[in-house]
Amino acid sequence: MIIVLKPDASEAQIKHIVTKVKALGLKPMISRGIERTLIGVIGEEEILRSQPLEVFPGVEKVMPVLSPYKLVSREFKPADTVVRVGDGVRVGGRKIVVMAGPCAVENYELLLSIAKSVKKAGATVLRGGAFKPRTSPYSFQGLGEEGLKFLAEARKKTGLPVITELMDVRDLELFEKHADIIQIGARNMQNFDLLKEVGRSKKPVLLKRGMASTVKDWLLSAEYILQNGNFNVILCERGIRTFETETRFTQDLSVIPVVKQKTHLPVVVDPSHAAGTWGLVPSMAKAAVAAGADGLLMEIHPKPEEALCDGQQSMLPEKFAALMKDLRKVAKAVGREI
């Protein structure tokens, strides 16, 4: 249920409503917009229906949220959410954010070289996996904590905030120390204990769509994070598994406008994992921007044939630089910028 406050509702009235809602055993979540402040109320429907919340001072109206996801929905927050990353990056505004870097952190020198090249081309966030979820237990699993420290050092040298994937709640403290965006991968999209823990963190979270997940599944997973207090959530479409075998996954670009209708959260697209082949990435990246994506997540490596992880889908730095020039043209055509 959503309590819509009057434009002139005072802080004292808001505090009074929040106190009353908590006394009923319900959970209030405040969303402050430019013109209105809303209070989302989470709890037992019977209690919600039995309380005359409309009579509280400062309340304009009370509306039920019909969608299964409450805090994620446009009903709760009509305005777009802009997630702040570091000192200057904003995900969800007019500027499209490009996150680029190697699939896995292999060594510091290589990471720093890639970071400098992607920054020069126009990327504003450095990506790199320190802990790698691999299908085979014999594949490279990442450098772990050492990789996180390399990312933090590359951030210090380049000024680029970093995004890296968290797989285990026991490592959350390390990620809060070294990362700027915590990525929850497709395989962990419904790891609800993990989602609850990052929900208690204040770090921005990028939540990838599961490879066989519906939009409803995806948004309900995001709800776990918001419901635990963290509203700094970025959704990421990275391709879903279909009967098609020509690409690694099927890039569902239609999900961008669908999700933007249903939620206020920003949406990023990962064309590298969907395509599975670097030559397809430019076309899908440009299509994602045209479809309304708020950002892109791409893999870059100077020697893909020697990469320890996903070399076949990693673009050469010079190819990435050329793509960035094309992406700026597409962004301008749809009223955005990179």
Q: What are the tokens at 209?
A: 């769509």
The whole-model pTM stands at 0.88
CB 154 within 8 A of CB 112: yes
Looking only at the bridges linking them, the beta strands covering 2-5 and 59-63 are antiparallel
The pair of structure tokens assigned to 130 is 């320190």
pLDDT per residue over 84-115, tens digit each?
A: 998 889 999 999 999 999 999 999 999 999 99
Which is it for strands 83-85 and 89-91: parallel, antiparallel or unpaired?
antiparallel
Q: Say which residues have a Cβ less than 8 Å from residue 305's Cβ, sequence separation at least 6.
A: 311
- Position 87 scores a pLDDT of 84
Q: What is the pLDDT of residue 286?
A: 98
CB 153 within 8 A of CB 116: no
Q: Which DSSP category does 7 fall into? A: T
Q: Please give the structure tokens belonging to residue 200.
A: 């208690």
* DSSP-derived secondary structure for 200-242: HS-S-EEEEPPTT--HHHHHHHHHHHHHTT---EEEEE--B--
Predicted pLDDT of residue 90:
97
Tokens 């769509």 identify what position?
A: 209
3-state DSSP assignment of residue 283: helix
Q: What is the pLDDT of residue 102?
A: 96
pLDDT tens column, 295-322: 999 999 999 999 988 899 999 999 999 9
Q: How is 36-97 classified by DSSP, letter by letter?
A: -EEEEEES-HHHHHHS-GGGSTTEEEEE---SS-STTBTTT--SPP-EEETTTEEESSSBPE
Q: Flag residues of the chain having pLDDT under 50.
A: none
- Kindly report the number of other CB atoms within 10 A of residue 12's CB atom: 10
Q: Which domains does the chain have, with CATH numbers?
A: 2-63 (3.30.70.1140), 83-333 (3.20.20.70)
What are the two backbone dihedrals, phi and then psi, of residue 103, each rounded to the nearest 5 degrees? -60, -45
pLDDT of residue 142: 79
First-to-last C-alpha distance (Å) of the chain:
38
Task: Say which amino acid occupies 28.
Answer: P
Specify the pLDDT at position 62.
85
Least Cα distance to 307 among 107, 144, 157, 146 occurs for 107
